[in-house]
């Protein structure tokens, strides 16, 4: 448990955030604790907004993991009204081994709809369903991308944050301009998955939470062709932009998604 051990050690030393072990994966000889971290000083019930960050659902996409941990380490300004929850590494064994799949050879990003999912997915679902987020952000790295792009799903009308995130990233990195990505239309770096409910290849955490009632979901994708540190910086710039926009009030009213959607 090399680099994952280093990761969880860093999580234990982030001021202002609590670390919660939801369970353990692996064998007795290679035990991997599965962590969620959350902001302290404000409870879920007191918060006006609830935001969730996630990364590392694919173990061979480490830049997103590093970006989420660095973002937490620099103590984002949450203005005393935001409850921030994070799953810095959804796939501990895959992260340690550098594999897309988990220790059982399963792609966790396709398992969030299953009645009996892998343990990592079950823990994430159980914890996330209690918080009822207003915004969910998942960080990914894409081996096929030739620039940054993102997925954005939102229930409220309006342009969303996607175009402004792409504009911010354009200053420091290329944008993926392919007309279609994974069969979906690419609008200058923004993909709006309007047909998510018809997906037959399995559900990601973003899709699960969106169907559960989370009104706004972002999936950030950086190209693995870029150096690792550049990928991390792209993720961090996108996260900084999202949080600045959130705090400036460029979102709809809080708690929009709570109490809606199916429970699984």
The DSSP code sequence of 47-70 is: -SEEEEEEE-SSTT-HHHHHHHHH
How far apart are the C-alpha atoms of 68 and 53, rounded to whole Å? Answer: 7
Tens-binned pLDDT, residue by residue, of the chain (264 aa):
578 999 999 999 998 899 999 999 987 667 899 999 998 876 666 777 889 999 999 999 999 999 999 999 987 666 667 889 999 999 999 999 999 999 999 999 999 999 999 999 999 999 998 888 999 999 999 999 999 999 999 988 877 899 999 999 999 999 999 999 998 999 999 999 876 655 567 899 999 999 999 999 999 999 999 999 999 999 999 999 998 887 776 554 444 444 333 333
Total residues belonging to the chain: 264
pLDDT on residue 159: 77
Q: In which residue are the tokens 């064994």 written?
A: 93
**Which helix H or strand E contains 31, and what residues bound it?**
strand 30-39
How many CA atoms, within 13 angstroms, populate the side-chain half-sphere of residue 80?
Answer: 0
CA angle 80, 85, 87 (to 5 degrees): 155
How far apart are the C-alpha atoms of 186 and 66, rounded to whole Å? Answer: 27
Q: Taking a C-beta distance cutoff of 8 angstroms, is the pair 59, 73 a contact?
A: no
How far apart are the C-alpha atoms of 140 and 191, rounded to whole Å? Answer: 14
How far apart are the C-alpha atoms of 101 and 257, rounded to whole Å? Answer: 31
Partners of 154 in beta bridges: 216
The answer to pTM > 0.75 is yes
Indicate if the alpha-carbon torsion angle 21, 87, 79, 49 is positive or negative.
negative
Q: Taking a C-beta distance cutoff of 8 angstroms, is the pair 204, 151 a contact?
A: no
Class of domain 2-247: alpha beta
Do the strands 135-142 and 49-55 form a parallel or antiparallel pair, or are they unpaired? parallel
Q: Taking a C-beta distance cutoff of 8 angstroms, is the pair 157, 215 a contact?
A: no
Indicate if the alpha-carbon torsion angle 133, 74, 174, 170 is positive or negative.
positive
How far apart are the C-alpha atoms of 28 and 32, rounded to whole Å? Answer: 9
3-state DSSP assignment of residue 32:
strand
How far apart are the C-alpha atoms of 201 and 137, rounded to whole Å? Answer: 21
Q: How remote is the C-alpha of 118 from its chain's centroid?
A: 18
């Amino acid at each position: 448990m090399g680099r994952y051990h280093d990761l969880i050690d860093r999580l234990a030393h982030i001021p202002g955030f609590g670390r919660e072990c939801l369970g353990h994966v692996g064998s007795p000889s290679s035990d991997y604790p599965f962590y969620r971290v959350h902001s302290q000083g404000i409870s879920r019930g007191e918060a006006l907004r609830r935001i969730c960050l996630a990364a590392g659902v694919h173990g061979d996409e480490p830049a997103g993991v590093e970006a989420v941990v660095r973002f937490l380490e620099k103590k984002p300004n949450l203005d005393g009204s935001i409850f921030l929850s994070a799953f810095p590494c959804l796939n501990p064994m895959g992260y340690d081994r550098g594999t897309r799949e988990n220790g059982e050879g399963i792609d966790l990003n396709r398992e969030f709809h299953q009645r009996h999912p892998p343990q990592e997915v079950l823990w994430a679902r159980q914890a996330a369903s209690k918080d009822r987020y207003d915004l969910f952000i998942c960080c990914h790295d894409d081996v096929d991308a030739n620039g940054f792009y993102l997925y954005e799903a939102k229930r409220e009308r309006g342009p969303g944050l996607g175009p402004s995130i792409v504009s911010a990233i354009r200053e420091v990195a290329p944008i993926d301009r392919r007309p279609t990505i994974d069969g979906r239309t690419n609008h200058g770096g923004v993909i709006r998955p309007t047909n998510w409910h018809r997906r037959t290849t399995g559900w990601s955490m973003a899709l699960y939470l969106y169907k559960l009632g989370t009104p706004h979901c972002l999936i950030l994708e950086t190209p693995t062709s870029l150096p690792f540190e550049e990928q991390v910086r792209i993720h961090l710039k996108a996260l900084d932009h999202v949080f600045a926009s959130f705090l400036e009030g460029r979102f709809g009213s809080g708690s929009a998604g709570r109490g809606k959607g199916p429970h699984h």
